[in-house]
């Protein structure tokens, strides 16, 4: 299937590792022109080097709206516009103290809002504007990552649905991908595997398919929803969870 992403102008936040890195790589493999940001300069440069000039990145603090706006503007100028954005950054925060809640709120939710607001004028001018938010199954069911991570991931699902209704008339499609457990060595599940092997084994056993997702499998869903192959799909929350969640989506 031709996803018609060649020369698409794509912006991805949190693009230097894990799911974000897989999304950047997948768009680049389809011939898209990709700008990405991440918090760490070293990760940005390593990703650029690994993809041999196919993408370009910048170190950005997504909790700073001015930095986000400046990055979007500079990327749009270099690409000649913006067709697709994928807000992906998360603080992966857990804990009930207010400082943790504020950090998660500023990163997961307001970082996404700042990204979308900055990109909106460019998306309106695109012939095929698309937004793919990265949420989580923790936003759909109460699990061990419920607070504040799951609460804010639930807010992202609601935000995506709201944007889809508000901007359908602008020709902008907005969808959400909610991954289940995604394993990569430097990620949260890699840390749990090393530090708490019994907990890891318990969580692994909860996956009906007997394994956790690979970042590329989440990236594939994001690419589909961003592409012309999903041209009549907007406002959906697409689960990539291997059957982990038990609720029925109506």
| Model pLDDT, residue 179 | 97
3-state SS class at 182: strand
In a domain, 78, yes or no: yes
| Annotated catalytic residue within 75, 90, 136, 164 | 136
Alpha helices in 168-196 (DSSP H): 188-195
- Total structural domains in the chain? 1
Whether 250 sits among the annotated catalytic residues: the reply is no
In a domain, 209, yes or no: no
Q: What is the DSSP letter of 247?
A: P
Give the contacts of 36 (CB within 8 A, at least 6 positions apart).
11, 12, 13, 14, 15, 16, 20, 24, 44, 47, 55, 56, 57, 58
In a domain, 4, yes or no: no
| Annotated catalytic residue within 90, 135, 138, 178 | 135
| Annotated catalytic residue within 90, 122, 149, 178 | 149
Whether 136 sits among the annotated catalytic residues: the reply is yes
Looking at residue 115, which CATH number applies to its domain? 3.40.50.720
- Which residues constitute the domain of residue 24? 9-180+214-240
- The predicted model scores a pTM of 0.96
| Annotated catalytic residue within 13, 16, 153, 161 | 153
In a domain, 77, yes or no: yes
In a domain, 123, yes or no: yes
In a domain, 204, yes or no: no
Whether 75 sits among the annotated catalytic residues: the reply is no
pLDDT in tens, the chain (250 residues): 889 999 999 999 999 999 999 999 999 999 999 999 999 999 999 999 999 888 999 999 999 999 999 999 999 999 999 999 999 999 988 898 999 999 999 999 999 999 999 999 999 999 999 999 999 999 998 888 878 999 999 999 999 999 999 999 999 999 999 999 999 998 899 999 999 999 999 999 999 999 999 999 999 999 999 999 999 999 999 999 999 998 888 7
Q: What is the DSSP letter of 106?
A: I
Whether 159 sits among the annotated catalytic residues: the reply is no
In a domain, 201, yes or no: no
């Amino acid at each position: 299937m031709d996803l018609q992403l060649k020369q698409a102008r794509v912006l991805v936040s949190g693009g230097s590792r894990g799911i974000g890195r897989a999304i950047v790589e997948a768009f680049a493999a389809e011939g898209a022109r990709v700008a990405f940001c991440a918090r760490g300069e070293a990760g940005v440069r390593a990703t650029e080097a690994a993809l041999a000039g196919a993408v370009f990145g910048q170190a950005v603090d997504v909790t700073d709206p001015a930095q986000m706006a400046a990055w979007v503007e500079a990327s749009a100028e270099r690409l000649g516009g913006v067709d697709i954005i994928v807000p992906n950054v998360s603080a992966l925060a857990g804990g009930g103290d207010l400082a943790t809640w504020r950090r998660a709120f500023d990163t997961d939710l307001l970082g996404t809002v700042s990204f979308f607001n900055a990109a909106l004028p460019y998306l309106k001018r695109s012939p095929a504007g698309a937004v793919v938010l990265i949420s989580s199954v923790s936003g759909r069911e109460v699990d061990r990552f419920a607070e504040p991570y799951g609460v804010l991931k639930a807010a992202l699902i609601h935000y995506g649905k709201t944007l889809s209704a508000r901007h359908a008339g602008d020709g902008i499609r907005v969808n959400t991908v909610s991954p289940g457990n995604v394993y990569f060595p430097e990620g949260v599940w890699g840390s749990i595997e090393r530090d708490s092997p019994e907990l890891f084994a318990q969580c692994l056993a909860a996956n009906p398919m007997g394994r956790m997702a690979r970042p590329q499998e989440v990236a594939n869903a994001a690419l589909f929803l961003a592409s012309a192959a999903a041209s009549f799909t907007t406002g959906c929350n697409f689960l990539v969870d291997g059957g982990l969640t038990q609720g029925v989506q109506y």
